[in-house]
Amino acid sequence: MKKTVISIALVFLLAACQGVDEVLLPPTSVQQESAPFVQTENNSVSTATHVQQGTATPTTKSEENFVPTPTTSLQENIIPVLMEANIVPTEFVVSQEPLALIDGECLPPITTFSYYPSGGERPGPLPVTQLPTGNWEVVTIIPKYPPPELPGGNNIDLEVLQSVNSKDRIWVIVEDTEEYHLSYYQLDDSRWINIEYPTEGFSNEDFLENPDIFLDKRNSIWFTPNPINYSEQIKANTPLLRIYDEGNQQFKTVFTLKDLYTPDPNQKIDGIRITHLQMDNQGNMWFFLTVELSGEETEYQLFTFSPSNHTLERHLSDLKLNYDNGGSLVISPKNVLYLLDSQKDSFIFYDPAREDVKEIKIPSQVQIPSTSSLFLDNLQRLWINDKILLDLFQGGDWHILIEPPVFITYYYYGSGIWGRTLPTYSLETEDGRLWYSATNRGSGWVDPNSGEWCIFTSYPSNIVKDSEGHLWMIADGKLYRNSLQQ
């Protein structure tokens, strides 16, 4: 009865917030709700009890991989209202039919025809929470995952999948209520290993909030910390690049700030870091040194680092670079660099062996957002999100993509605003599909052969592939696996 009263109260609170004229109460006699997950000693997942038709059924062995029925989550909108009303429910139970999935797997677009311009008082759509559909199954719960009732608690990043001695491990960073945690999951024995990251006098947040973790062709883990945002903390010995030492099971510094940059004593630096780590076929690391100067534009300096002889070299020093994007640098199999300058709507093609530099303008029909990223597929097509692709194999032909409605979204911050999110591609599978995540929308894939775009979960996550061909992702604080079996 108490749960029913809270559910009814939630519905009326929602109606008051959204200005709904009529409220349809769910039946109190039949409640379908997601089963709570319980973490066992070995981090396997089972369901303790699920409630259906008003009766409790104990968990059986065959239900250990039970995946809850998708429901609509009202948590983001309701929590502030409940706090003001001094109502703090322990869980949200909202009766609603599951989403009508397209082909049994893909989420429908929020809208397919139109949406309201920014501003105004019109309420937005209810946020929808959809667990991964299709062949995805829960494998384990992420350690130190914040309880779901905490606002903003879903802060987990799947970084890379590493193979060491034919054993796969998945690296993740988890933000809990106090600090960040770096760990990896070993697939062979289903164990989580926590990694102590040396902060050397800096806060844990300075190093583990939004870092770059890169896996090179030798399966080594490279780590660049978060930019130091206070000039008094930036010192000559500030570590900028580290590598994970398997023998000692700890990170060791490769080089520091003094190896790359000599600051002007009259210049105030707001932040500095290494970004866009890539490795070419000769084993050289390419990256940008990103220097945020107080009151001035950010500098982007292109470097190579040779791990074999520990030499550094700067490139294109006479060019003013504008590459403040998460994935605006890729390297082709022929060791040609492709750099996206979204401010100029152009590419720079750089062949270091020939010292050849070319600037290619992107067709004027396409506007490239500043947050765009690049992906080079196996057919040598260079993708810029869902906007356009450049076919490098077919003589450099441009192909403007028809923007799909699946990326239209509603941002709930402030008074709410409609907009478009962008897909960031993680990998390509043997069937030609590109798998991506999209902020505020979820994770999905695109099939270039059929032109189909699919979002199969509302949880955005990097997607990685193990040595056996299984895909892995994170959703709702749990690690999911997909065997890709049809």
- Please give the Cα distance from 3 to 7 (Å, whole number): 6
pLDDT of res. 209: 65
pLDDT of res. 194: 87
DSSP state of 71: B
- Please give the Cα distance from 175 to 179 (Å, whole number): 6
- Please give the Cα distance from 328 to 308 (Å, whole number): 26
Which amino acid does the sequence have at 35?
Answer: A
The pTM score is: 0.76
- Among the residues of 26-185, which ranges form H helices? 75-84
The phi, psi pair for 411, rounded to 5°, reads -95, 125
Which burial class, exposed, middle or buried, applies to 346 when counting CB atoms under 10 A from its CB (0-12, 13-18, 19+)? middle
> What would the pLDDT profile of 434-458 be if each residue is shown by its tens digit?
999 999 999 999 999 999 999 999 9
pLDDT of res. 133: 92
pLDDT of res. 82: 34
For the chain, how far is it from start to end, CA to CA, in angstroms?
43
DSSP structure string for 37-65: EEE-TTS-EEESEEEETTEEEE--GGGTT
> What would the pLDDT profile of 186-233 be if each residue is shown by its tens digit?
999 999 998 876 655 555 555 666 677 899 888 999 988 765 554 555
pLDDT of res. 344: 74
Q: What is the sign, positive or negative, of the torsion defined by CA atoms of 318, 321, 327, 333?
A: negative
pLDDT of res. 85: 40
Residue keyed to tokens 């069937």: 431
DSSP state of 115: -
Q: Name the stretches of the chain with pLDDT < 50.
A: 1-97, 149-153, 230, 325-326, 486
DSSP structure string for 176-198: -SS-EEEEEEETTTTEEEEEPPP
